[in-house]
Structure 1
Amino acid sequence: MLEPVAVPTETKIETLPVAALIVAAGRGLRAGGETPKQYRELAGSPVLRQALAPFLAEAAISQIITVIGAGDDALYAQSVGAIADARLAAPVSGGETRQDSVRLGLQALSGSGFDGIVLIHDAARPFVSSALIGRALAAARIEVAAIPALAVTDTIKRVDAAGCVVETPPRDRLVSVQTPQAFRFRPLLAAHEAAAAADLTGFTDDAALMEWAGHSVATFPGDAENVKLTHPQDFTSATEHLERRLTVRVGTGYDVHAFTEGDHVWLGGVRIPHSQGVKAHSDGDVALHALTDALLGTLAEGDIGTHFPPSDPQWRGASSDRFLAFAANRIAERGGRIDHLDLTVVCEAPKVGPHRDAIRARIAAIAGLTPDRVAIKATTSERMGFTGRGEGLVAFATATVRLPEQE
């Protein structure tokens, strides 16, 4: 048994900072496929991104670290996409086992000076709810270690090496456990480092390691929907489950800018040479402005001027990719996904056609999509109106997203 690690007094517990450690270093071979299961898409969005969303939405969490497998940096970057929350730290490379990976993640937190409450969550559980995270935080403010648990409804048998039953334990004292598991940071780190120093492996969750270290582990109610994706059929069931939880929303956006002196315009994040520029507070990218408003419209969260007011000098000359990335990030934080972006540009010049593919690729990269989910159309106004007279250009946008139903 380890020497006890001092924990904060009750008067200090309420102000302890909270970190979340997402374990995503496994290979997930039982789930099938060539890509680790945490990076596979589930109803159009990577599993890891869906697992991160509820933690990003929790205001009490001040830091989030993801532990990934060696060489998975590109998969991680593709999965997190447009998430730009400052609380999401750079990923940490994991070890050969889950136990090693958690320890390395905890040591990274320690290196940043963190000390408080830590939630350990498996990336293969994408359906964690805000209510479950809330129960974990409440338990961690009382206990040194606490885990979500569900009553066992099936009869459990213990078998020998030959597969013969040797015991039928009473199920009224049995529970199945989930993540996120909640711990005081310093005792958990000490237990992990002590186990590593003793070359003890095989702990399948952090609660078992804390038991070994002599700590009492409390339980709190789990969530039957907080399933772990393990086998191929789990993805089929999870996709059906997720589709039932998502609501389709459609938003529209519009932007217009007048031409002025200059030698280029920005359109869809691409710099296009032109005989004129545009009058604007930022870079005047009508395409990205319209798309930003369309995405914000699906969330009913105002418009681009609400979040980036032109009266604020910090946005003078700003690159509009920041605005679209912000809106896409808001979708991700709500646990949603962008299904499709549709854009129409109206102007006599410059010609959009030669730049269509570059614009689609750039918008897709900013929003965390594949280019086949971005449509660009261009037309003129047949020499009518201000666009027909070559006085400016207009963009119309439509965004289709899927958002989880509010709990």
Structure 2
Amino acid sequence: MARIMHVTALIVAAGSGTRMGGDLPKQYARIGGKAVLAHAVDALLSHSKIDAVRVVIGEGQEDIAREALEWRDVGDFIIGGATRNESTRNGLAAVETSHVLVHDAARPFCPPEVIDRLVETLDGDAVAVVPVLAVADTMARLDDGGLGEAVSRDGLVKVQTPQGFRTEQLLDVLEQSDLAGAAATDEASVIRAAGLPVVTVEGHAKLEKLTTPADWARAAREMEQDMVPRTGMGFDVHAFAGPGPIILGGIEIAHEKGLAGHSDADVLLHAITDALLGAAGLGDIGEHFPPSDPQWKGAASDQFLVHAAKLVRAGGGTIDHVDATVICEAPKVGPHRAAMRTRIAGILELPEASVSVKATTTEKLGFAGRKEGIACQAVANIRMASA
């Protein structure tokens, strides 16, 4: 039977994240090369039972949110308010589906089975449904700064997000409730205060909220455990043609001859680009930037490398190291190696220690030995989530 209920995931990302420290709100900081907000969006966008994802951001955060989410389809950003519930109300006003999952951007890793449980419960006519985890630790009250009376943990749970609701009903309750100000920390609290039932389903440890630097370190470790190393190889060659200079490793090098190619013929950046695409299983440079396409005629090759790096990171990957060997008799690479390394590290947003550039000759054998052109081979090591 076809599914009649439609669901929008509404991610509330309007906070300032002051408890995390630093100037950047925590939802825009990166874990594994990808913004926390992007992790949250990807988990929901990829789920078959989510029809749309919308994002509520703080006023003035449009540029940083756009940079964090890049190509992801979340519609126009919704501007939040001064409180959590103001932001949620603004978001709900833009939701066009019958049901909504309201999610904290600071919970970046939402397992698909939790979404399954929420949607299935909503489809059973629940007013509201939230994921919860039983409290395992001993609980106690503080008494003048010391440990006071123990509190029974029987029946205590930690309430997580996403939280599922009927869209119109949640909006009505938020608009009418006295708890719609700063006092309410989540939408389920407002629903309960209105006397409406809230159903619970099993949550997940991965939905723990990022609040402190220690939480951040924990999330990074958990992500590392789910990632596997992958290696890609790249190779490119360009013939000498026309007058110099040449572009190699993103820098200009004086030479009596230039390199033939549809773009700027930067053989070093092309090889690294192919290595990154290969490691991520994303084809080769020709598929992404066809030489038959006139828009790439004379194009600077740094944009090819930026594109490959963004694709790796958009897939949740981390670039660990790139190593390249330039093969030619001339020009001499040694005097320019440091500058190339610095330039490539800058393009890839990596420390220079993660970039290696070497050079060799073919002992005057073959086309490189005859000074007919330059070749380059590259290896890229990345980590990506296991399939």
Shift, 1:311, TM fit = 5.6
Name the counterpart of 2:70: 84
Shift, 1:219, TM fit = 3.3
Instruction: Select which of 123, 128, 133 maps to 1:150.
Output: 133
Letter in 1 for 2:201: F
Could you tell me whether the CA contact under 8 Å between 1:195 and 1:201 is conserved in 2? no
Per-residue CA deviation, residues 261-294 of structure 1 (Å, 9 max, x unaligned), is 3655444455666554444344433233322222
Per-residue CA deviation, residues 229-286 of structure 1 (Å, 9 max, x unaligned), is 3344434444443333222222221112223336554444556665544443444332
Instruction: Identify if the C-alpha distance between structure 1 residues 157 and 57 changes in structure 2 by more than 3 Å, giving closer, same or farther.
Output: same
Q: Give the secondary-structure state (helix, strand or coil) at the position aligned to 1:149.
A: strand
Shift, 1:400, TM fit = 1.5
Could you tell me whether the CA contact under 8 Å between 1:21 and 1:65 is conserved in 2? yes
Shift, 1:32, TM fit = 5.8
Could you tell me whether the CA contact under 8 Å between 2:323 and 2:356 is conserved in 1? yes
CA distance in 1, matches of 2:386, 2:242: 48
Name the counterpart of 1:67: 57
Paired-residue identity, %: 42
CA distance in 1, matches of 2:157, 2:53: 30
Could you tell me whether the CA contact under 8 Å between 1:53 and 1:334 is conserved in 2? no
CA distance in 2, matches of 1:288, 1:126: 33
Letter in 1 for 2:374: L
Name the counterpart of 2:13: 23
CA distance in 2, matches of 1:311, 1:115: 42
Letter in 1 for 2:157: V
Could you tell me whether the CA contact under 8 Å between 1:24 and 1:48 is conserved in 2? no
Letter in 2 for 1:54: A
Alignment of 1:47-58 (within 5 A): 47-48=36-37, 50-55=39-44, 57-58=46-47
Q: Give the secondary-structure state (helix, strand or coil) at the position aligned to 1:179.
A: coil
Alignment of 1:93-132 (within 5 A): 95-104=81-90, 110=94, 115-116=96-97, 118-132=100-114
Could you tell me whether the CA contact under 8 Å between 1:259 and 1:278 is conserved in 2? yes
Letter in 2 for 1:123: A
Name the counterpart of 1:377: 358
Instruction: Identify if the C-alpha distance between structure 1 residues 133 and 182 changes in structure 2 by more than 3 Å, giving closer, same or farther.
Output: same
Instruction: Identify if the C-alpha distance between structure 1 residues 257 and 54 changes in structure 2 by more than 3 Å, giving closer, same or farther.
Output: farther
1:245 is aligned to 2:226: yes
Could you tell me whether the CA contact under 8 Å between 2:85 and 2:180 is conserved in 1? no
CA distance in 2, matches of 1:137, 1:276: 64
Shift, 1:395, TM fit = 2.2
CA distance in 2, matches of 1:271, 1:155: 64
1:346 is aligned to 2:327: yes
Name the counterpart of 2:310: 329
Could you tell me whether the CA contact under 8 Å between 1:20 and 1:61 is conserved in 2? no
Per-residue CA deviation, residues 10-53 of structure 1 (Å, 9 max, x unaligned), is 98845x47445252623242x56776544556577664554454
Alignment of 1:394-405 (within 5 A): 394-405=375-386
CA distance in 2, matches of 1:401, 1:328: 10
Alignment of 1:5-404 (within 5 A): 13-14=4-5, 16=6, 18-23=8-13, 25-29=15-19, 31=20, 36-38=25-27, 47-48=36-37, 50-55=39-44, 57-58=46-47, 62-65=52-55, 67-68=57-58, 80=68, 84-87=70-73, 95-104=81-90, 110=94, 115-116=96-97, 118-139=100-121, 145-153=128-136, 171=155, 174-189=156-171, 191-192=173-174, 200-212=181-193, 216-261=197-242, 263=244, 265-270=246-251, 275-310=256-291, 320-349=301-330, 359-360=340-341, 363-404=344-385
Q: Give the secondary-structure state (helix, strand or coil) at the position aligned to 1:341.
A: strand
Could you tell me whether the CA contact under 8 Å between 2:56 and 2:87 is conserved in 1? no
Question: Which shows bigger deviation, 51-60 or 155-164?
Answer: 155-164
Could you tell me whether the CA contact under 8 Å between 1:156 and 1:169 is conserved in 2? yes
Letter in 2 for 1:209: V
CA distance in 2, matches of 1:150, 1:347: 61
Q: TM-score with structure 1 length normalisation? A: 0.72
Letter in 1 for 2:111: S
Specify which structure has the bigger relative contact order, considering alpha-carbon pairs within 8 angstroms and separated by 6 or more residues: 1
Could you tell me whether the CA contact under 8 Å between 1:24 and 1:124 is conserved in 2? no
Could you tell me whether the CA contact under 8 Å between 1:21 and 1:66 is conserved in 2? yes
Question: Which shows bigger deviation, 240-249 or 273-282?
Answer: 273-282
Structure 2: runs of 5 or more not aligned: none
Instruction: Identify if the C-alpha distance between structure 1 residues 158 and 404 changes in structure 2 by more than 3 Å, giving closer, same or farther.
Output: same
Shift, 1:376, TM fit = 3.1
Q: Give the secondary-structure state (helix, strand or coil) at the position aligned to 1:345.
A: strand
What CA RMSD, in Å, does the superposition of the two structures yield over aligned residues? 4.5
